[in-house]
Amino acid sequence: MEIISPPKPENGAPEVDQQNPSFTTRMAACDRLDLLVNNELFADVVFSVGSEGTLMFGHKAILTMASDVFRAQFTGSFRESRENGQEHEILVIDIEPPVFKEILRYAYCDRVRITAGNVLHLLYAAEKYLLAKLTKECNDFVEKHLCEKNVLRMFDQNRSYELEDINRKCLEIISANPILMFGDEHFLTLDSKSLELIAECKRMNCHLSHLLGAIEAWLKINEHDADRGNEIRDKVLKFTKLEHMCKNIQNFSASRYQLDIKTEMFVETENNTKKTFFIYGIGIPLKMKNMCSTPETVHVDITIARQIRNIGTDLSPVIIKRLSVPVDTFMQVKEIMFVRQKIDCKTMLNVQIRINNIDQPMLVMENFTSDQPDVGLRFKVRKENTTNCVAYVLYDEGNDIVTTWQNFFFPQRIRRSNRS
């Protein structure tokens, strides 16, 4: 068994005799207690920690005052309370030594080092030992730093613990912008249980075809788990459709028929609003004026890009694609969804649609008249071409959850909590 020794001084500080009263009496109380963390000096309990059975040391009096679980172990009917703590190690097989040391440090002096790598392990350990304030600090850390850049890794790490709150927070982010998540390289390395939990979400801002395509891509990389992946895909195939989490703004403009169908429309925020909006997709109405013996196939060319507002410079194309759609005199709306796009007072969305390969008039809208004019979104069609073929826009508003991801990969400083 490995024995973890007390840490050596950092930052080049000289090594000191921790048992020398002339040294310790000059220290703050918390610093003195910090020296006792995993220190054999006066220790009266030994823990066998982790998969390797690493021996770590504790002091019953301090641990008992910090945690009701330790109190029960040392003073209740547990076997540990009837045995000599130094002769019989207490097994802690579900927590690894670095995490258990943070639990000891928190119990001794209200200090903890929370990082992206240990936050889930710490959260599990804090819940196990009923350390309510540490549980809150871990949850606050996740709440602050969890975002689209790291959510898949965090979600997969949670398979070791299945913390329900972590699953809920991760699935909210994944379901809000799934097309982006499905294109992330980490999606292809997810555990099959993680894939299953995502596939069970029936409310998601994408089409069923997006979800099935993502599962097929996962199956190609994870042939060793093909049976499980096929089961998940077969369950999804039984869905009729996915319910969107986003909202819908309808175009209430009058309609007419014409041959040349070309749309260029800008989706932007109202000048007097500071709101942030997210755009997820559009609906394109497709209907011919005259009956044909067979439906005609038309080509729908779509280009959507974000632009710098008032300048017109494209930031990046959101989607460029061509659809071939059979059309007749029955109205159908072709819904196009894409990676969520943020627009605000600085950026807007440019939507260009052209319908080709037609020799009969097709339905167009004369403008874009929102059925929700107070939302704060504005739809501008170029003056030289006032018609458009956008039946509705899928949108939502709220806080941007894609921001502080970089901080997530760096440790939070050792700090003292305000525990009472």
Regarding whether 282 and 388 lie in a shared domain, the answer is yes
Regarding whether 154 and 137 lie in a shared domain, the answer is no
Does residue 3 lie within any of the structural domains? no
* pLDDT tens, residue by residue, 234-293: 999 999 999 999 999 999 999 999 988 889 999 999 987 889 999 999 999 999 998 776
In this structure, of 24-33, 315-324, 371-380, the range with the lowest mean pLDDT score is 24-33
Tell me, what CATH number does 372's domain have?
2.60.120.820
Separation in Å, CA 2 to CA 50, 84, 121, 259:
11, 20, 21, 80
Regarding whether 267 and 360 lie in a shared domain, the answer is yes
How much is the CA Rg of the chain, to the nearest whole Å? 30
Regarding whether 387 and 300 lie in a shared domain, the answer is yes
**Which residue range forms the structural domain that includes residue 87?**
29-141
In this structure, of 25-34, 178-187, 306-315, the range with the lowest mean pLDDT score is 306-315
Point out the domain boundary residue: 186, 208, 238: 238
* pLDDT tens, residue by residue, 123-158: 999 999 999 999 999 999 999 999 999 999 999 999
Point out the domain boundary residue: 121, 141, 161: 141
- Number of structural domains the chain divides into: 3
* pLDDT tens, residue by residue, 352-399: 999 987 788 999 998 999 999 999 999 998 766 678 899 999 999 976
Point out the domain boundary residue: 113, 141, 169: 141
Tell me, what CATH number does 176's domain have?
1.25.40
Does residue 130 lie within any of the structural domains? yes
Does residue 91 lie within any of the structural domains? yes
- Tell me the mean pLDDT in the region 180-184: 98
Instruction: Give the DSSP letter of residue 161.
Output: T
Give the span between the Cα atoms of 30 and 236, in whole angstroms. 55
Regarding whether 168 and 130 lie in a shared domain, the answer is no
Burial class (CB in 10 A: 0-12, 13-18, 19+), 48: middle
Percent of the chain at pLDDT exceeding 70: 85
Q: How confident is the model at residue 340 (pLDDT cuts 50, 70, 90)?
A: very high
Tell me, what CATH number does 79's domain have?
3.30.710.10
Regarding whether 164 and 67 lie in a shared domain, the answer is no
Give the span between the Cα atoms of 183 and 178, in whole angstroms. 9
Give the span between the Cα atoms of 314 and 296, in whole angstroms. 34
